Amino acid sequence: MTASAQWSAAAASVIGRQHELAEGRCEDAWAIARHNLGPERRVLALCLCDGAGSATNGWAGAHITSRYFATWLGANYADLARCPSRAASRASAILRRMLRRAARAKRTSIKSFACTLAALVVADDDRWMAFHIGDGAIVGRVDGAWIPLSIPSKGEFANVTYFVTDDDAPDSMRVRWAGDSANSGQPTAFALFTDGVEGSLINRQTGEVAPALDYVSDWLRVHSEDEVSAALARQLEEVFRGRTGDDCSLAVLSRLSVETYAGAERPCAELCPRDAAGVALQCAQVKLRHSRRMPNPPVGA
Amino acid sequence: MSTDTLMIRTEDLLTNPTNRVPIVLCLDASGSMAGDPMQELNEGVRLFFEALKSDPVANASAEVGVVCFSDDAEAIVDFQGLGRITSPPEIQCSGGSTNLGAGVNLALDHLETRKREYQQAGVDYFQPWLVLMTDGQPTSDDHLRAGPRTRRLEEQGKIVVFPIGIGVGADMGTLAMFSGKNQPLRLQGLNFPSFFRWLSQSVVRVSQSRPGEKVALDVQGIKGWAELS
């Protein structure tokens, strides 16, 4: 594999039937940050979060965390990659600091922003790192076969999972990276998903990954990121949503040749100004796309 | 290029087993339950099964085991999907004593076995529920072992316990030995149907809950069947 690869990413979230019935909102959120740090120094970071149903601001936690972490991850990837064994504690610490600020600004507790997190950063030299707390999963396509890189982490019971706001989040955060002892082979595609689609995409007992991801990752080779994101949203709505009551989110990243990538690139929707906690980000070098925040539910809902 | 063909087929997805909610009913079948109490209890249990079956999510996720106790304990329904239960169990009054502890120990043993089966099969499950109903006082010392065992599990967050007394003869002090979180409640007369309706609604809510979501009991609904001081 050459060092001149490019990566393309698409993501979508749709509200679950139970939230819709309760006139609630989608508590999943995603963000994709493309960092252009100079020639041969391009990095793509994607973060998917699922706000805790039990937390009053879980949905906000998911939005803030996904945008902030995707941006931070891309900007700090080189540093993190130099010492991956410290990545979990660094990432947890920065997330808690950001969420504490957000909580102070909203005069609430950090726990009210509880959400899970699945994130992946990949550089144009194909090196990558994955970060995961809670349920949902991260899978990679190696030599044509999908393998779990980080499986759902739950407590004994079905409605128990782990969140970025937990006191022991640094211990719960699992980090995988290219060449770590648990991985062999170079993925040519990745997929991240929340627990709403987990049951449709990964066998909890065997780790088998659904063939559907073959198609989805290949879409990015011939269609633009925006087109694939729109197609993902349609499929989540039409195919996945009927199989669960939960919000559904799916993100895919595919390795493209430079030629393919040049044709597929689209200008990103917006630059990241400041994250919700008021932490300044290095905007000039970052393009951020993210899930749309749903309007507030009607009063009394 | 058209994106109309970007579709996922259901055949290319996987299907995992539905998350299960195991519930064990541990019911007094001693001599004092003969007559109206047993008739009403059976009616309540019938309504419970019916209500769970009528909810699509609960029907797929609830698994009910039934243990009866008198001189000894017996599992009359082992845990299984509701679809496999064609008619609700008919609890017979054996005319014997009230070996409450033996009933609870057997119920807990069955729950442990079922949880191991879930784990081996890769089936996710919710916190199991133990519903304990009696109208009298224990006639053996088995409850002195079963009580702490149940409380330990409850303290570890591994079980939810509902101790229910039937009639004025129910020993509420003994029932309190089984739960530190849910105080024992006395049924209003023989209002089993209201209790089991409330229970089925509570099961439905749990079966629909998502990770991170804490399901609060319908405290208001308890007034419909319990004597509250």
Predicted local distance difference test score (pLDDT) of residue A90:
95
Asked if A223 is an interface residue toward chain B (Cβ–Cβ < 8 A), one would say: yes
pLDDT of residue B155: 94
Banded pLDDT at A94 (limits 50, 70, 90) = very high
- pLDDT tier, B100 (very low <50, low <70, confident <90, very high otherwise): very high
Write the burial class of residue A180 (CB in 10 Å: 0-12 exposed, 13-18 middle, 19+ buried): middle
Q: Between these two residues, A10 and A153, which has the higher pLDDT value? A: A10
Distance CA B88, CA B25 (A): 13
Residue A173: in which H helix or E strand, if any?
none
Look at the block and give the residue holding tokens 């990095």.
Answer: A43
**Which of A154, A157, A216 to mutate to test binding with chain B, by most B CBs within 10 Å of its CB?**
A157
Q: How many CB atoms lie within 10 A of CB A142?
A: 16
The mean pLDDT value for A32-55 works out to 88
Least confident of A133-137, A241-245, B204-208: B204-208
Q: What integer pLDDT is reported at residue B226 of this predicted model?
A: 85
Give the closest-approach CA distance of A286 to chain B in angstroms: 28
pLDDT the model gives residue A258: 54
Q: How far apart are CA B64 and CA B41, in angstroms?
A: 16
CB pair distance less than 8 Å for A53 and B1: no
pLDDT at A274: 41
3 state SS for chain B: CCCCCCCCCHHHCCCCCCCEEEEEEEEECCHHHCCHHHHHHHHHHHHHHHHHHHCHHHHHHEEEEEEEECCCEEEEECCCEHHHCCCCCCCCCCCCCCCHHHHHHHHHHHHHHHHHHHHHHCCCECCCEEEEEECCCCCCCCHHHHHHHHHHHHHCCCCEEEEEECCCCCCHHHHHCCCCCCCCEEECCCCHHHHHHHHHHHHHHHHCCCCCCCCCCCHHHHCCCEECC
Task: Kindly indicate the confidence band of residue B194, based on its pLDDT and cuts at 50, 70 and 90.
Answer: confident
Torsion angles phi and psi, residue A142, rounded to 5: -120, 125
Mean pLDDT of the A171-197 span: 88
Record the pTM.
0.82
Q: Between residues 101 and 140 of chain B, which touch chain A (CB distance below 8 Å)?
A: 121-122, 124-127
For residues B25-48, give the mean pLDDT: 92
Greater confidence, B13 or A294?
Answer: B13
What are the φ and ψ backbone dihedral angles of B170, each rounded to 5 degrees? -65, 135
Taking 60 as the threshold, does the pLDDT of residue A282 lie above it? Answer: no
Which chain A residue's Cα is nearest to B61? Answer: A158
Say which residue, A178 or B152, is predicted with more confidence: B152
Please report the pLDDT score of residue A173 as a whole number: 95
Is B48 within 8 Å of B199 (Cβ atoms)? Answer: yes
Q: What is the mean pLDDT of residues B185-189?
A: 89
Judge whether residue B121 has pLDDT over 50.
yes
Average confidence (pLDDT) over B43-52: 90
* Radius of gyration for chain B, computed over Cα atoms and rounded to the nearest angstrom: 19
Distance (Å, whole) CA A24 – CA B148: 42
Query: Worst-scoring range by mean pLDDT, A2-16, A136-150, A160-174, B10-24?
Result: A2-16
Which of the 8 DSSP states describes residue A295?
A: P
Q: What is the pLDDT of residue A249?
A: 97
**Predicted local confidence at residue A295, as pLDDT:** 59
**In the predicted model, is pLDDT for residue A267 greater than 60?**
no
Confidence of residue A119 (pLDDT cuts 50, 70, 90): very high
**Mean pLDDT to the nearest integer, B35-64:** 89
